[in-house]
Amino acid sequence: MIVIVILIIIWQGSVKKEKSALVQNTAVISKKEIKIDFNRLTGQDLRNLVSFPEIEPFREAASSTDETGKEIPETKIGRENPFLPY
């Protein structure tokens, strides 16, 4: 029984090697030429681009006004340690 299994493994290995050798000999790889148009970098489309406005950093305290127009003093937003339970 063991001899039959060993013969099958050897036979499978030799058949696969022959098939892979045939495939490697017939494979043709064609290389495509890459063309880069650097004139696009100086084109009118890129000249018309507008940068984004600068975003102001987040402030911890915010002042605002109420319905009557009275200014509300700055209030602190958030908690000292947000991971503590209430």
pTM over 0.75, yes/no: no
Q: Say how far apart CA 62 and CA 77 lie, in whole Å.
A: 8
The pLDDT value given to residue 46:
82
Q: Say how far apart CA 29 and CA 23 lie, in whole Å.
A: 12
Percentage of the chain exceeding pLDDT 70: 66
> 25 or 71: which carries more pLDDT confidence?
71
Is the pLDDT assigned to residue 63 strictly greater than 70? no
Which phi and psi angles does 61 have, rounded to 5°?
-115, 140
Give the residue-averaged pLDDT of 8-36.
Answer: 72
Which phi and psi angles does 34 have, rounded to 5°?
-100, 125
Give the residue-averaged pLDDT of 8-28.
Answer: 67
The pLDDT value given to residue 54:
87
Give the Å distances, CA to CA, from 31 to 27, 28, 34, 36: 13, 10, 9, 16
